[in-house]
A = this chain, B = another copy of it.
């Protein structure tokens, strides 16, 4: 049975990397001595090594080792044999392009469906949705497809922000962008604010973190969902 934490962001303002999730992560990865880290999204363009090192430092605080997938000769095997897996944030186009390039999209899906504990943050949470089409990232590289893992029956919009009614900026709001998405796609989108995460465990999908999330469905007005709501009704 799936066992996933999908967080909107890795880092809260004025807090260290992954700090706000440390209690959750201790519990989530309690049976893991070492977790496999997928650094492909390369935030700010940092290298796989730098990103893995940064992540290892954060996990050292809860006595878990981290090994980057780029360190393995066979990434498919690395995924199959991992005690736990974490995909970090960065650029979703790059992450998806790399997952296809290394031919591990399918094995990652199958492995996570069998129950290997998984953490995604930002781009690493986006890929758990049906497609990467509600990412906020720039298309810096052309992936062979926008389809992603489909571990949840909807898409996520991470780092979700309501429109700033005071702003004079005329660029599209997140809500407008998602409305445009629904002109061409039928599945729901959950706007997940920074500080929120989904816990997918025991066949349930629960909204965690104390904040509301916003649910967008085609031809419906968006609705605000409170924390601790079970979300299996979203189809």
Residues of A within 8 A of B (CB): 9, 11-14, 42-45, 90-91, 93-94, 132-142, 145-146, 159, 161, 168-172, 176-185, 194
Decide if A180 touches B134 in the complex (CB within 8 Å): no
How many Å from the CB of A77 to the closest CB on chain B?
28
Q: Which residues of B contact A194 (CB under 8 A)?
A: 169-171
A44 touches B176 (CB 8 A): yes
Contact B137 A43 (CB under 8 A): no
Interface of A is mostly: loop
- Cβ-closest chain B residue relative to A182: B45
* Chain B nearest CB, measured from A174 CB (Å): 9
A162 to chain B, nearest CB (A): 11
Q: Which of B11, B132, B135 contacts A170 (CB 8 A)?
A: B11
Q: Is the CB of B141 within 8 A of A138?
A: no
> Which among B13, B44, B169, B177 is the interface contact of A168 at CB below 8 angstroms?
B13
